Structure 1
């Protein structure tokens, strides 16, 4: 299993519309990516590690899939539509990371 993480680093003066992201963009993402995505996790940053410190990320989303190939096959045909929606909710350039999921027993 792999996880494709999309991280939106917080920056002073940046814009991130959580309501649009949760009610429009993410449902559209789930629908367009379909069964290739086994699980979606969404994290909205609320604080950093110290009291009164801002969160380092406005949001982090994780798409869990069987393989990189499965995600790529689902994402490639709809990439333009998903990426084209980004300006509707943020001016932050997302950072992408693909990770192998490991379990600790």
Structure 2
């Protein structure tokens, strides 16, 4: 049995074309949605990586600074510095400054 396309009506062609166009649009939207999800996932992964690297860097700097300050607090200087006399203000050890 031969299938003859000349016997089909114009409305059948319109219906089939509409179905094919709908399938093409649905496939395009599905591919675009998957691409958007992939880009969102990649961006989220990149942000998570940058956040953890910078957080680790700040934590490392804080830890190193704490160690440095702790070590500097334990250092004893072998030299005694000579004491210096403070400049005197006269008879009184403190002067109260007032507006005239």
**TM-score, length basis structure 2:** 0.17
Larger Rg: 2
**TM-score, length basis structure 1:** 0.17
Q: Could you say which structure has the higher helix fraction?
A: 2
Determine which structure has greater relative contact order: mean sequence separation of CA pairs < 8 Å that are 6+ residues apart, divided by chain length. 1
